[in-house]
Structure 1
Amino acid sequence: MPGQDRELTLRFLAEPADVNFGGKVHGGAVMKWIDLAAYACAAGWSGKYCITVYAGGIRFVQPIFVGNIVEVSAKVIYTGSTSMHIGLDVRARDPKSSERHLTTHCVVIMVAVDDAGRPSSVPEWVPQTDEDIKLRDSAITLMEMRKKIGQEMEAHVNS
């Protein structure tokens, strides 16, 4: 039922096909996993097909190694009328250890669309805890910052 599944975690093993030239998991593979988890989270919250409209603030904190167990956790942190801001953390660990470490963090904005591809309304998410309020407020601050950055970028786009 829409408006109930706010978060999810995808878990899997990093495979040899995910490796880059430096012998670690390729950043592009991590970004794909982030997009998949963001989609699954947004679709679960909205009950609709969703598209990615923004991925930003991606921080690659530590590398992921082939054979690591990877966990991509996604959580709705703000909703607009048709959009959902999804906070994502990627953690990894050696399968022989229980110690996980943060490898990547970012925010992805997804928009729910109808069968014609037009934006479609989503259930409102209302923060319940102090932590949820902090996440929502952070999403709003980031949204305001993106607007300012977009205005600054106009000079580069139109030159």
Structure 2
Amino acid sequence: MPSSSVVFRFLAEPTDVNFGGKVHGGVVMKWIDQAGYACAAGWSGHYCVTVSVAGVKFRRPILVGQIVEVEAKIAHTGKTSMQIFIQVRCGDPKTQNLVETNHCIISFIAMDETGYPVQVPTFNAVTQEDKQLESYAIKMKEIAIETETLLHKSVP
């Protein structure tokens, strides 16, 4: 059975921050993409490509020296796609008391060696938390599709 989650833990470094001493949003997005990829590749057993990120919001800053935890969990699978729930937390490394800074749904497609989409194992939500995350992932996927459709209708 493939693993359905991945957790990265590390310290926010001086190279991650802006002039105000807070981690750049783009750096956080990189961490989200990396954890999401590790989760998607581990679940599917294939190279995966990022399709979209939905619902990302920066709730509080991450400061240099704080411990950062990026957790990625499979929330929903399609035929070749995976929607992964990402939660980013940070806190004082001495207390390990972490608070959420971000969460989102990141979507990946598994690819074969020739660059074509390949079928992924089905994720079955069992726990109540899994079911809630799956419902959230499906809703975010629907919103992304609606947004893409609206964009194509609006842009010449």
The interval holding the TM-score normalised by the smaller chain is over 0.9
Matched, 1:69 2:67: yes
Q: Per-residue displacement from partner, 1:109-143 (whole Å, max 9, x unpaired)? A: 01100111111110000111122112112211222
The one-letter code of the counterpart of 1:130 is Q
CA distance in 2, matches of 1:134, 1:54: 20
Per the alignment, residue 108 of structure 1 pairs with 106
Q: Pairwise CA RMSD of aligned residues?
A: 1.1
CA distance in 2, matches of 1:56, 1:21: 27
Contact residue 84 and residue 137 of structure 2 kept, 8 A:
no
Per the alignment, residue 45 of structure 2 pairs with 47
**Alpha-carbon offset, residue 97 of structure 1:** 1.8
Structure 1: gaps (5+ residues): none
**Alpha-carbon offset, residue 155 of structure 1:** 3.1
The TM-score with structure 2 as length reference comes to: 0.95
**Among 118, 123, 141, which residue is 1:120 paired with?**
118
CA distance in 2, matches of 1:84, 1:125: 9
Say how many residue pairs are matched: 156
The one-letter code of the counterpart of 2:95 is S
Contact residue 13 and residue 65 of structure 2 kept, 8 A:
yes
Contact residue 83 and residue 105 of structure 2 kept, 8 A:
yes
